[in-house]
Structure 1
């Protein structure tokens, strides 16, 4: 007996993906509107907050590379990411099988990165994100297998 219907579970995941797409769009449009100057100011502010040298080292190199062109590239990447989240969210909302595959793969890609982040910086938030993504991947795999009950089973040859 299922506690939550497959449609409802997929819609919850879809809502999260659509939200992530909306946040990415907001970030991309904000970055495009603001331009490079506020980004450079934010790097300098972070350097001062963490008592780092903003004139030398990694932050200085990062700040020197920020230009109008690099902002445009960052906006394009952010909007491409948002488009992926919207496509996945739409497909999951409409309970499309391809979206379950897409979601399982796209969430699964982050698992090694999240494991490394948790090992390097153990924190409840990191662990929670990892557990949530594992749950999403497992549920989407379950959804795929539910649609194809014989998928992955060996056939008995005569």
Structure 2
């Protein structure tokens, strides 16, 4: 799950303990989020920074929540076409599990994995939520080492 550190970074999640992962306005990313289950873990990926990469780990606490930002005309992610009777967008609540001792950069990820193993490395991929195959996730966790 990607976020720009200036908008919402791992330090914000650590401080808050948990957060609503809201503001998803891409149907494919939304559908990936809908496939998550309570207890699933997600990598926290800092994007649009130097260097981008995997920085931490989160756990899904709640799923299928209605994204409140779609109804707020003052919110960045307001969607005037969404209505309360049939909302278009939902979100999940994730909790902080920890930060890795060092970021695993996008360049490092590209050296070690294929696009099939890790879709985030595909050039031009702008989706903020992407699945990670179980075998790749296990390998990443081993490479990244303990959380702190």
Name the TM-score, length of structure 2 as normaliser. 0.28
Determine which structure has the larger strand proportion and give its number: 2
